Structure 1
Amino acid sequence: MPSYHADSYRLYKRRFSGLLGFVVLGAVTAMSWPWFGPISNDMAADFDLSLDQVNWLGNIVSCVYLPVAILVPIVCSKWGVRRCCDIGVVALLIAAWVRYAGTARSLSREGSYALLIVGQLFGAISQPTFQILGPMYSETWFDLKSRTTATMIISVANPVGGALGQLISPLPGNTRHSILILAIISTAAIPFVFLIGEAPPTPPTYAGSRKPQPLLPLLRSMVGLHSSQSDLYGYMTVQERIDFTIIIIVFGVLAGGANTFGILTAELLTPLGYSDFTSGLLGATLLLSGLVAAIATAPLFDRVFTHHLAITCKVLVAMVSGAWLSLIWAVKSGDIGGLYAVVAIIGACSVTNLPVGLELGCELTRNSGGSSALLWFSGNLFAITFVLVEGALRASPTASPPLNMHKALIFNGVFIVLMCISVIFIRGTQVRRENDVRMGQERQELGLD
């Protein structure tokens, strides 16, 4: 890590090249988890697999994500952001071609499936690297007027990648060619890692001057083991611990719901007469509508709604949980317009809430890497739970319509609403921003800026 000087804060233009690297790699590493959702029925037929086995190609990403999410801030605190990114791209490259090796027709059914799973496993190592390090990168390179926007741009890269994956995977019309395209895209993204720098010579803010924090101090703070209130970056008040716990739950439920919809899109809609291509478009609509909304709103959080992240979170959570509940009635035959409308609302609110939740977690904990790791850990834990439960709730082949997932939609909507009610108890004091503002004012009084 560079040595920081307390007598100057600066911004560097090369922060934007690193931002581009995070965006491209974040998008590409996100493609693998929903890639098989729109083509799940074709995958089952071509590789002689059950739908549950195909679902595990997405679910394994969430399972492996859990331990990797815990390891990322630990590795980063020891070896830095760039070393973590190098590990991520190596895993991405391995994932791409091991996965493609599983498409060889000379392999047995078991052999093909084993290679597909191993490829997805390595993909699950690369994805959390660029998700979790995003808030840390924005904190390290960007100031108070652009930090939330940078976090937004990096965080929405993941759903954009998921949307592109859902759009692209059905296009070849052949599952083996589809997996080859994923391998080529993954390989082409590797050089973007060289755009990412470790840290600027001089930090942009007081928070940006601090070295990456390990996860263990945050876990200790959450259970009240840090007793010194003088330790601004170790001590969390009772209200802060409550707030962050609620954010972990709500963020996890909403992220898990969106991930699950991406994995199960075709299985939810095909029994009702919708094509795989339509399923892919609906999944992409959820994520791309969120991109538009997030781009429009993130600069407002940096410059207008600077101190209102908690209120914003409450409003967005109320809207998106209601939309998830309404999906119970919206998913029916011949109502494609209504489906697009509900899915667009879910996407706009959910993706906009991503940077808000991530930044609010950083504000409450003053540990950007640790808080991001716990939030994304929660999202993938809920995704695993949702996929398993909703798969078990699939109707029988003799139901009307056969293999419909109406019960799964009921579980999904009701569970999300019940968990999201807790958001009303968040106070959400933005402690990190208050520290940065105070330090900036002190520097001005001393004539350092």
Structure 2
Amino acid sequence: MTSNIESATHKNSHTKFKLYPWRFAVVTAIFFVILVNVMQFGAYGSITPTVAKHYDTEDWVINNLNVWNLAAFFFSVYPGTWLLDVYGLRPAIITAAGLNAFGALLRWLSFASDSQTTKLGLLSAGSFIIGASSPLSADAVTKAAAHWFSGEGRLTANAVMSLATPIGGALGLLLGPQIVNNDPNNVDFFNMILFILSLVLGLASFLVFNNPTTPPSQSAEKGTIEFKQGLKQIFKNGGFWILVVVFTGVYASFQLISTFLSNYVTPYGFSEDDSGNFGVTVVGSGIVAAIIAGVILDRTKAHKVALKVLSVVMCLGCIGLYFGTTNSNLVLVFVSSALIGIGGLPLMSISFELGAEATYPVAEATSTGLLMTVSQVFTISMIFVTNALAESGSGKLWKGLICVIALSFVAMVGSFAYTSDNRRIEMEKSDTSNSLE
């Protein structure tokens, strides 16, 4: 079987481009691969003390597994982007699924050793390998949308695949307490469940093919430039780097809120249940907004307008979160959480698409990979900064919330400075023979 899927129907001789039903299988497969990867990244977040007790270690050792995960991202982002751009979606997604399942297997096999050092070694190695698989799948979403969807469906497809990240994170946090149930003896069983899910859902990766037989658009037909040449072009593209500032501000704000939400609100009288409900509000409103935005923007092509409007919405949400939290106003925190979700989640997939538009004909995985790399580095540094801003004694993080407001404000200002042309869209509009079956 080749990396291109053959058409099951006869092509009309007057039709230049074509959409295949198989594109939905590709989206679903990539969604599942990202889902199980992110699920494992956050799996111990809600059960850290119990996991630490099981491995006879300190909480910070378990928390540092995410450091291994993030370190692996930086280690593998360049080869991952190269594999995607040079060899295509199929080998990259299959490799991502395989690495993810192997990492989960190592974490589960930690039960077989009586040595604490070996147990923690397998746990850390598994986390590193899971992190190494992340760029292969996360950076594939824009490329898959470009190769399998026309201009009327790319952003919606991108948004759907990108939603695997918040949904996977939420599932990881939800499954842990349900399966482990505060019993350290259940941690090995939880690790086994994660391995089985990674293996079974990872098999969907074999549904992914590089390209359809007939391309869905002119940009897909023309293809992209060589990987190293693309890197040289992208570093000279000023508009793209303005977009990097916007995306980094949005991504860092969103991740800081997701990571520290409980730490932000509980010192002001809110319960952990309240914190969980705020988090659900952020994710739930963001999922709905991302899908709606994708459908609308695929029709209107008003990506740059949406970038500005949604960045304002997110900034207002961050400001509201500060005042709602510090004044213990439950309703204001809920409203602000919804605004953060509505503004933040759609902006991520929109930024990926604008990155591809601003840098075309550079390969899509290159622009997405750079957006993710810069934002990840900055977010990690801001996590350390936020930890240092907690007030001694009370633990209040109002200074951290000020940082979140500042980041969202920088993103908002940057969105108004972003004026790059949508090169891919304009090229496709100029093609009078762009007929689609």
TM over 0.5: yes
Q: What do the CA deviations read for 1:209-265 (whole angstroms, capped 9, x no partner)?
A: 2445554323311344xxxxxxxxxxxxxxxx2321111122122223323333334
Query: Following the alignment from structure 1 to structure 2, what is the Cα–Cα distance between the partners of residues 426 and 189?
Result: 38
Q: For 1:74-153, what aligned pairs fall within 5 Å after superposition?
A: 74-102=82-110, 106-108=114-116, 110-153=117-160
**3-state SS of paired residue (1:428):** coil
Q: What corresponds to 1:436 in structure 2?
A: 428
**3-state SS of paired residue (2:64):** helix
Q: What corresponds to 2:201 in structure 1?
A: 189
Residue 171 (structure 2) aligned to one of 126, 145, 164: 164
**65-74 vs 350-359, which moves further:** 65-74
Q: What corresponds to 1:234 in structure 2?
A: none
Q: What corresponds to 1:354 in structure 2?
A: 348
**4-13 vs 172-181, which moves further:** 4-13
Q: How well do the aligned residues superpose, as a CA RMSD in angstroms?
A: 3.0
Segments of structure 2 that go 5 or more residues without pairing to the other structure are 7-12
Alignment of 1:289 onto 2:297: no
Alignment of 1:340 onto 2:334: yes
Query: Following the alignment from structure 1 to structure 2, what is the Cα–Cα distance between the partners of residues 325 and 202?
Result: 48
Residue 417 (structure 2) aligned to one of 405, 416, 425: 425
Residue 412 (structure 1) aligned to one of 386, 404, 422: 404
**184-193 vs 40-49, which moves further:** 40-49
Q: What do the CA deviations read for 1:316-343 (whole angstroms, capped 9, x no partner)?
A: 1122123223333333596544333222
Query: Following the alignment from structure 1 to structure 2, what is the Cα–Cα distance between the partners of residues 429 and 85?
Result: 30
Cα distance 1:244–1:178, how it changes in 2: closer, same or farther (>3 A)? same
Alignment of 1:243 onto 2:235: no
Q: What do the CA deviations read for 1:325-376 (whole angstroms, capped 9, x no partner)?
A: 3333333596544333222211121111122111111111113111111111
Q: What corresponds to 1:67 in structure 2?
A: 75
C-alpha contact 2:32 2:202 (8 A) present in aligned 1: no
Query: Following the alignment from structure 2 to structure 1, what is the Cα–Cα distance between the partners of residues 57 and 396?
Result: 19
Q: What do the CA deviations read for 1:30-63 (whole angstroms, capped 9, x no partner)?
A: 2123333333454455545555444323333333
Q: Give 2:367's aligned amino acid.
A: S
Q: Give 1:331's aligned amino acid.
A: T
Q: What corresponds to 2:42 in structure 1?
A: 34
Alignment of 1:374 onto 2:374: no
Q: What corresponds to 1:228 in structure 2?
A: none
**3-state SS of paired residue (1:36):** coil
TM-aligned CA deviation for residue 314 of structure 1: 0.9
TM normalised by structure 2 equals 0.86
Q: Give 2:247's aligned amino acid.
A: F
Query: Following the alignment from structure 1 to structure 2, what is the Cα–Cα distance between the partners of residues 326 and 50?
Result: 36
Residue 325 (structure 1) aligned to one of 311, 319, 328: 319
Alignment of 1:386 onto 2:382: yes
Query: Following the alignment from structure 1 to structure 2, what is the Cα–Cα distance between the partners of residues 142 and 194?
Result: 19
**180-189 vs 120-129, which moves further:** 180-189
Identity of aligned residues (%): 23
Q: What corresponds to 1:229 in structure 2?
A: none
Q: What corresponds to 1:202 in structure 2?
A: 214
**3-state SS of paired residue (2:211):** coil
Cα distance 1:338–1:35, how it changes in 2: closer, same or farther (>3 A)? farther
Segments of structure 1 that go 5 or more residues without pairing to the other structure are 225-240
Query: Following the alignment from structure 1 to structure 2, what is the Cα–Cα distance between the partners of residues 107 and 378?
Result: 38
C-alpha contact 1:74 1:214 (8 A) present in aligned 2: no
**3-state SS of paired residue (1:9):** coil
Q: Give 1:348's aligned amino acid.
A: I
**251-260 vs 373-382, which moves further:** 251-260
Cα distance 1:150–1:250, how it changes in 2: closer, same or farther (>3 A)? same
**127-136 vs 266-275, which moves further:** 266-275
Q: What corresponds to 1:238 in structure 2?
A: none
Q: What corresponds to 2:9 in structure 1?
A: none
Cα distance 1:418–1:265, how it changes in 2: closer, same or farther (>3 A)? same
Query: Following the alignment from structure 1 to structure 2, what is the Cα–Cα distance between the partners of residues 284 and 21?
Result: 25
Cα distance 1:114–1:416, how it changes in 2: closer, same or farther (>3 A)? farther
TM normalised by structure 1 equals 0.84
Q: Give 2:245's aligned amino acid.
A: I
